[in-house]
Structure 1
Amino acid sequence: MAIVPSDIPIGALTVAREAAEAAGRMAIAYFRHGSPTTAGIDYKHGGSPVTEADLLVDAFLRERLMNAAPDFGWLSEETADAPARLNKRHVWVVDPIDGTKSFARGDPDWTIAVGLVRDGAPLAGFVYAPVTDEMFEAIPGRPALLNGHPIAVSRRAALAGARIAGPRPVLDALHASGAGIERAARIHSLALRIVRVADGTLDGGVAANGPHDWDLAAAHAILMAAGGVMLTAEGETPLYNRRSTRHDAVAMAGPELVEPLAAALGRRERSRS
């Protein structure tokens, strides 16, 4: 039986899981496999797209999650940040559609990511891939699950031959360094990339400098519950709900592979600076 901490409102994590699935059904109504979305598209400062579906999902999730736990903080890619979250022990960290570009052009690798952090650390996570109907989840006291079945990270310990996913320039640099990795196909949703490490499909993954809390937190909780580890290129564990939501480059893998992978990523990052 799951051991839900007493300071989590009864039923809040069940609501979060159900809301993530419902949000996926809401978003997929605007999705066209191999074709542009039917949702209206706008562009944020800097040029990244945001669709009508992103905003609808964001509003839906905020209503459901904040009703389930009114005293928790809120942080979402599609909601204006409010400093009040910094004074909260518990914060919902949400990416309404992680992989908006993929969603908008009709590629399947996008997800709904709902995380809960406590004191800056991942506590629970739900990452739903609507196109493949896959729910990855982690709650305290239980193993990580994929559609109700336990998952675990790869036990590979050496970089040579390890199947690693990430941005192509980063993988090319790691490969050129002599690490001997196998470059896996790009997974555009970072949350999905991380949970593919959690379920052992990938031996490891990397993300270039600049991911935000909402890209990482939900999937990080699932990775940890599956026996995996996430480290920055400097070998530190990411912390959440800080004033800045941005993170350095990160590596994720099983406990034996993650340190050499993070070290190789760190060398790549330092060579670029």
Structure 2
Amino acid sequence: MKEGKIDRADRKSIRKRKRMINTVVDFITDLCPREFKSREELLSALKEIEKSGFQVSYSSEEVVDVYDVIDFISNASEETVREILEKVNRNLRKMEDEWKIAKQLEERLNKDAPVGLETEIHDFARFGKNFWGIKVTVGANTYLFWFEGTLEELTEVLLEERRMQEKDIVKCPFCGEMHLRAYAMKYLDRCSCGARIVHETVRDTSGWSRELEMLWHEGCSTLGIPVPMEWRRIHIDKFFENVKYVGKGTTNWRMWFVKEPWQLRKPKS
């Protein structure tokens, strides 16, 4: 019976050590992204983080901070330190290889891309021969997703997204000038006729966005009237004559053209 209890305690200790090693490896890989050759190099890099006053509680398989990691490495056996070094360096080499693929993919996607429809890869990981994780901005949209398929197939999916946005043209309601929606969102504040181009950058489930609230306050303040209590339920372009809604198109964000002077919309006779 005693032997069984000892075996269970040993197994628990081994599992805890393994979890701690994995957490320490993740911590170092994320916060000290370079290859290391010795315990001393690891401790030196970690002490630089400690000196900077940067506070982080890192949760992987265990919750640790920089002091926990320094203490663990300082007291670890040579065998454990070797294991940590091997895993950290292997992770970093993998990340470097992944980033090279990401940069090549980005260059390919940006070849001949219209202005406003550039692609930027923020995060990229390879989990198997044909299994990828990617966070990418294509034109006006940002996506985070897993993809199962070849790199060529992933490239085609992203190119198709770009092609869809290329067809998303918005027409100024005041002068009729045509704009690529993604280009207008990224680079234009105004149409050539002087109309402001306003689009959302964030929106909650109630329909609130800071840009929409800004327009309501600006319009009502200019005209010397109170903002309606139920403004979130009112279509702003049905309230003001000089605000025109042009939809969301292929994006998740509403867009308006606004041309001064501010005017209340006249009721239909």
TM over 0.5: no
Larger RCO of the pair (alpha carbons < 8 Å, separation 6+): 1
Compare the two structures and name the one with the higher strand fraction.
1
TM-score where L is the length of structure 1: 0.22
Structure showing greater radius of gyration is: 2
TM-score where L is the length of structure 2: 0.22
Compare the two structures and name the one with the higher helix fraction.
2
